Amino acid sequence: MSVILVIEDEEKYRRVIGLHLSSSGFQVKAVATAEEGLKNAADVDLVLTDLKLPGMDGLAFLEQLRAQNMNTPVIVMSAFGTVEIAVDAMKKGAVDFLPKPFSLDHLTVVVEKALEVRKLRDENRELREALNQRYQFENIIGRSAAMQEIFGTVTRIAPTRATVLLCGESGVGKDVIARAIHHHSPRKDKPFVKINCTAIPENLMESELFGYEKGAFTGANTSKAGKFETANAGTVFLDEIGDVPGSIQVKLLRILQDREFERLGSNRTLHTDVRIIAATNVDLRAALEQGTFREDLYYRLNVVPLNIPPLRERKEDIPYLVEHFARKFGGVLSEAAIDRLVAYHWPGNVRELENVVERSILLAPGPRVEAEDVRIDTGQRARPAAAADNFLPEGITLDQYEQSLIREALKRADGNKSQAARLLGLTRNALRYRLAQMGIE
Ligand SMILES: Nc1ncnc2c1ncn2[C@@H]1O[C@H](COP(=O)(O)OP(=O)(O)O)[C@@H](O)[C@H]1O
Ligand SMILES: [Mg+2]
């Protein structure tokens, strides 16, 4: 039996609500103040609280509850005139509000809906946690077929010394996959050396990669080992391989073929036992055609090609990634907020998604990130979908503009209020309230 905590200072209301709910089959705890409510909040399935209370008010109660890590759904009741505060309460994590006076039938509907949502959400979380185990490889999340296939390939080839070529846009996860391959190989306790080929100026690249002997050039006062030497027995990750100049390409080819090289200023041939993983965000085949990338090197690198699709082509991964990042940054996102993230096209891929989730959690005013708290791109709060590309037209008041947006959203949603509310970034009740103010229904 679901337990409902009712916080209402007016005795008559408290009695009527209590009686109605118990006769509807709920177990009721009814108290007159928020302070008492807090004492009784443990093991409660739902809280129904008045907004205006003597002492601590309903809003403060809600905040206290969340501060004590209780995510019990809360419905706020409020008399006319405090509806805007009730909307605020919903932003702070209340699930619904009941404008007073309300009918007992309406009360039942709202209570049952809130309990249903809670049940679904709990089931959802359990399901998602179970799924996460399967759709996770180390800390890499992927439930899409493409990612599942990549996990399979990584598992198979990681223990070998096979050269891997990772292709994909910036932010798709090339780095994390390269590291995962290393960690699943017998080389895992040996060095993983990343070389960012764009970051090193061409004239320094040879000495960085292969080392130099004392006196090899002015300023070379001592000898120094290069990256391929220090990575011996481990893995070298060549990032942005497409940017490697031709003179170095020849030397890489020799490493790949014979694992041999010479330090700059020396003609003693050295041997290194490295596994090579390369990554590129440009199509190397285009570079082959233009003659800027050696064909023989390309084939040596392309032993195990792994193409990581952009995030917009595997949107089914987004809810799982969001769950993962939300846990990482200690926040929670509403279903509507997740829907917004799924709808976006993510030019910056997973890196951008991670940043947006972090920023949204940091800046959300309430305990949960709601759809309107999602901060994509510039750090600006999202505007309602219908307004996204419009400026305020001239000769129109803000009220009129709001009304036209609401009408537009209703039209787009075919009159479905829940859907229209979602388009506008409002809760259904907030929309209902605005419609009443406009004199619609
Ligand atoms: N599938 C994934 N699961 C979890 N985090 C990911 C995933 N893909 C990328 N990331 C995260 O996104 C960010 C960018 O990934 P990264 O590997 O650096 O991308 P790339 O090297 O392709 O530019 C990193 O913080 C990484 O941890
Ligand atoms: Mg990278």
Distance 258 CA to ligand 2 centre (A): 27
Percent of the chain with pLDDT over 90: 57
Question: Which pLDDT score, from 0 to 100, does residue 137 have?
Answer: 82
From the CA of 168, the nearest ligand is 1
Establish whether residue 171 lines the binding site of ligand 1, counting it when its CB lies within 6 angstroms of any ligand atom.
Answer: yes
Q: Which of 308, 314, 327, 312 is nearest to 128 (CA)?
A: 327
Distance 316 CA to ligand 1 centre (A): 16
What is 3-123's CATH superfamily?
A: Response regulator (3.40.50.2300)
Q: What is the pLDDT of residues 193-202, one digit of tens each?
A: 999 998 888 8
From the CA of 147, the nearest ligand is 1
Q: What is the pLDDT of residues 327-356, one digit of tens each?
A: 888 888 998 899 889 989 999 999 999 999
Is the confidence at residue 396, as pLDDT, over 80?
no
Give mean pLDDT, residues 191-215: 92
Establish whether residue 170 lines the binding site of ligand 1, counting it when its CB lies within 6 angstroms of any ligand atom.
Answer: yes
Question: Which pLDDT score, from 0 to 100, does residue 139 have?
Answer: 86
Distance 186 CA to ligand 1 centre (A): 23
Q: What string of H, E and C letters represents the secondary structure of the chain? A: CCEEEEECCCHHHHHHHHHHHHHCCCEEEEECCHHHHHHCCCCCCEEEEECCCCCCCHHHHHHHHHHCCCCCCEEEEEECCCHHHHHHHHHCCCCEEEEECCCHHHHHHHHHHHHHHHHHHHHHHHHHHHHHHHCEECCEECCCHHHHHHHHHHHHHCCCCCCEEEECCCCCCHHHHHHHHHHCCCCCCCCEEEEECCCCCHHHHHHHHHEECCCCCCCCCCCEECHHHHCCCCEEEEECHHHCCHHHHHHHHHHHHHCEEECECCCCEEECCCEEEEEECCCHHHHHHHCCCCHHHHHHHCCEEEECCCHHHCHHHHHHHHHHHHHHCCCCECHHHHHHHHHCCCCCHHHHHHHHHHHHHHHCCCCCECHHHCCCCCCCCCCCHHHCCCCCCCCCCHHHHHHHHHHHHHHHCCCCHHHHHHHHCCCHHHHHHHHHHHCCC
Q: What is the pLDDT of residues 117-155, one digit of tens each?
A: 777 777 667 666 666 566 778 889 998 999 999 999 999
Atom of ligand 1 nearest to the CA of 324: 4
Q: What is the pLDDT of residues 410-422, one digit of tens each?
A: 887 888 888 888 8
Closest C-alpha residue for ligand 1 atom 10 = 173
Ligand 1 mutation pick, 175, 352, 359, max ligand atoms within 8 A of CB: 175
Q: What is the pLDDT of residues 83-122, one digit of tens each?
A: 677 777 777 778 888 888 888 888 998 999 888 877 777 7
Question: Which pLDDT score, from 0 to 100, does residue 132 have?
Answer: 58
Closest C-alpha residue for ligand 1 atom 25 = 351
pLDDT mean across residues, the chain: 87
Q: What architecture is the 141-309 domain classified under in CATH? A: 3-Layer(aba) Sandwich (3.40)
- Under the banding of pLDDT at 50, 70 and 90, the label for residue 166 is very high
Percent of the chain with pLDDT over 70: 91
Distance 70 CA to ligand 1 centre (A): 32
Tell me: domain 312-382, CATH 3.40.30.10, correct? Answer: no
Establish whether residue 172 lines the binding site of ligand 1, counting it when its CB lies within 6 angstroms of any ligand atom.
Answer: yes
Distance 228 CA to ligand 2 centre (A): 19
Q: Which of 167, 162, 146, 150 is nearest to 286 (CA)?
A: 167
Distance 284 CA to ligand 1 centre (A): 21
Establish whether residue 416 lines the binding site of ligand 1, counting it when its CB lies within 6 angstroms of any ligand atom.
Answer: no
Atom of ligand 1 nearest to the CA of 175: 17
Q: Which of 1.10.10.60, 3.30.1330.50, 3.90.850.10, 1.25.60.10 would CATH assign to domain 386-438?
A: 1.10.10.60
Question: Which pLDDT score, from 0 to 100, does residue 35 have?
Answer: 96
The domain limits of the chain are 3-123, 141-309, 312-382, 386-438
Establish whether residue 174 lines the binding site of ligand 1, counting it when its CB lies within 6 angstroms of any ligand atom.
Answer: yes
Q: What is the pLDDT of residues 279-298, one digit of tens each?
A: 999 889 989 999 999 999 99
- Under the banding of pLDDT at 50, 70 and 90, the label for residue 387 is very low
pTM above 0.85, yes or no: no
Give mean pLDDT, residues 385-408: 59
Closest C-alpha residue for ligand 1 atom 13 = 351
Q: Which of 336, 356, 355 is nearest to 422 (CA)?
A: 336
Domains 141-309 and 312-382 share a fold: no
With contact defined as beta carbons under 8 Å apart, do 277 and 164 qualify? yes
Establish whether residue 141 lines the binding site of ligand 1, counting it when its CB lies within 6 angstroms of any ligand atom.
Answer: yes
